[in-house]
Amino acid sequence: MALSPRRKKQIARATGRLLARFTRFVHHSSHVVMDPADGQARVLEDYPPIVAVWHGQFMMVAALQPEGFEADAIVARHGDAEVIAEALLPFNVRLVRGAGSQGRKFKKERGGVSALRQAVRALQKNRAVVITADVPPGPARIAGTGVVTLAKLSGRPIIPVAVATSRYTALNNWSRMTINLPYSKMSCVVGDKIWVPNDAAPDLIEQKRQDVETSLNEATQRAYATAGADAMRATPVSAVPIDAPLPPTGAKLKLYRGFTRLIRPLAPVLYGQRARRGKEDPVRRDERYGIASKGRTGEGSLVWVHAASVGETNAVLPVVDGLLAERNDLHVVLTTGTVTSAAMAKSRLGSRAVHQYVPFDSPAFARRFLDHWKPDLAIFTESEIWPNLILETAEKKIPLALVNARMSKKSHSKWRKNRGLSLPLFARFNAVLAQNAQMARRFADLGARCVINAGNLKVDSPPPPVNAEDLTVFQNALLGRHVFVAASTHHGEDSEIIKTHRLLRQKFPTLCTIIAPRHPERGSAISEQIKSMGLRVAQRSLGEIPSDTTDIYVADSIGELGLYYTLTDIAFVGGSLINHGGQNPLEAARLSTAVITGPSQHNFADVYRALRNAGAAREVTSSETLAETVSELLSDRVVLEQMIRAGHDCLEELGGALTLTTSTLLNLIPASSERASRAAE
């Protein structure tokens, strides 16, 4: 049975009182060392100050306040606030509810603006303000601008304060919330005051923010050193220094490695089954066992790039081109896992790059692959996390990078519950270039040490190729007809597209709808479904071209989306009417096509949000609303052209990831002298 609000409040008060008593007990039973010795007096100088602490490290600050110190503490709006309020009451500290957003966009305001106003008023009334410089839910130990803004508005100084005890326990949350234990050596470090002018410009605000961050980190390290405690146990994974020792492989990772060793003999069976379904190239099957079908080309440096399939390959190929253009001595081996991506690589890789299938994730196969190619840098794309490949690469001291890194909320939650897997793996990447700020925070929380919000590489990817001869043939076949494309559709969406076609045909009798399924092998089943509804169909895989009487054309081919987008001005991008998360809309927008999507868009949330805000994309929920939207755009050329222009403008604003990614990766490729030294080892 759920507790009543009154009962919850009673429990919170009781818990808070116990916490206050425990805090006093820890304080009185411990030997306190102030650093500097007159630290408490410094806090009272230029009173009232803004006391900045790190989240999770504030438990003992209230107990160590000097006599005459009165303060308000800013606490985020969450259920634990009642407990904290009751715990702070005996120390003459009042609560201000609210938290900053650290640059994030929330649907609900988190109370940061209101809290800032209350804090300014408290300082004006001669009450100090205690504030956590980092903002929930992280990354931890990264100061937000809220504390600096408060100092600017109030004219009061910021004093960084850190407290540590020799005995403590740290919770496994984002901030490593620390519970100080009694009978300890307790160290309290008070940093130098930081003043912020009331006319500080944004660049000075950023400088002061960095000053707060640096000072707090130094104070924290000093506090733990003075107390004789291990600071790393209380350090959040997102704040672990880049040069810190790598976390060891835990029991779960060792179990995974042992399991992949045991099932290695079954790899031929697995790939044999896939070959029978047309998902493997039987001629090149040895590549799956780490046996190269080609030699290492050239004498210069070699970069290994791994992409999962077509989408990831299309996104990373411009990076490959950029690296090769910058370094004449560079060569590339690109690995992928699908036949379709292998075909794309064959058609688009130049003379200094070769394609191989990625080996099965077994320690032995990984070592065989690495011993042959001897890469100087390994680049993984998006969410391709293969433990044995990563660990074996790191073991050989080969720099690792994860580019266009993507991490959904669901995946982050799963990884977070398995710290024994996530920490050793993500910490081994020398750089993680995330698609957006939210994903960057997720990777940092999982242990990645050098995380960069680089943007989405797919924005900078060139449009998919179009065969000129095929384009002419299709344009002649569809001359004088309205054309609507449903691209990358999934099972469950095709029937909605067929219904949409029937609704549209009432107003546009010459309409030809093109369905390009995400998985081309579904083409025949879709064609049969269309025929069963009394419509005429033609099918690409059968070599057919749409005729004057073709209602729906099933484009069950590989690598031809560019052709179909070029044939239309309006495209529905699939994976969005079902709960899949949507497919990439950027290719359509880049080829001057207005984008329509269903409500499921989380795979490309940032991109769809930007396109919708720019007026370059429309959202629908059913065949009826899809038909209404397509009908409106087919009937109003002015509105349609506005959407297309807005798409181009939006892509220009979103671009830039390619340049940042390429420059970061170039810095990770060892110089010739370093490569020779590593080879000698």
Q: Are 168 and 184 in contact (CB under 8 A)?
A: yes
HSE toward the beta carbon, residue 69, CA cutoff 13 A: 26
Active-site entry in 82, 213, 312, 560: 312
Q: Which of 410, 466, 401 is nearest to 430 (CA)?
A: 401
180 vs 416: CA distance, rounded Å: 25
619 catalytically annotated = no
> With the C-alpha atoms ordered 640, 643, 649, 655, is the resulting torsion angle positive or negative?
negative
What distance lies between CA 205 and its chain's CA centroid?
27
Instruction: Output the DSSP codes for 510-521.
Output: T-EEEEEESSGG
- Taking CA atoms, 332 is separated from 28, 244, 306, 402, 550, in Å, by 64, 30, 10, 16, 45
- β-pairing verdict for 50-53 and 128-132: parallel
Tell me whether residue 465 is exposed, middle or buried, using C-beta atoms within 10 angstroms of its C-beta: 0 to 12, 13 to 18, 19 or more.
middle
HSE toward the beta carbon, residue 533, CA cutoff 13 A: 19
**Cis peptide bond N-terminal to 48, omega within 30:** yes
Three-state SS for 178?
A: strand
Q: Are 430 and 668 in contact (CB under 8 A)?
A: yes
- Taking CA atoms, 282 is separated from 274, 288, 306, 433, 656, in Å, by 9, 10, 20, 35, 40
Three-state SS for 203?
A: helix
141 vs 164: CA distance, rounded Å: 15
Instruction: Output the DSSP codes for 549-594.
Output: T-SEEE---SS-HHHHHHT-SEEEESSTTTTT-----HHHHHTT-E
Give the residue ranges of DSSP H helices in 385-432.
387-395, 409-416, 419-426
Helices 387-395 and 251-262, packing angle to 10 deg: 100
Catalytic positions, written as ranges: 312
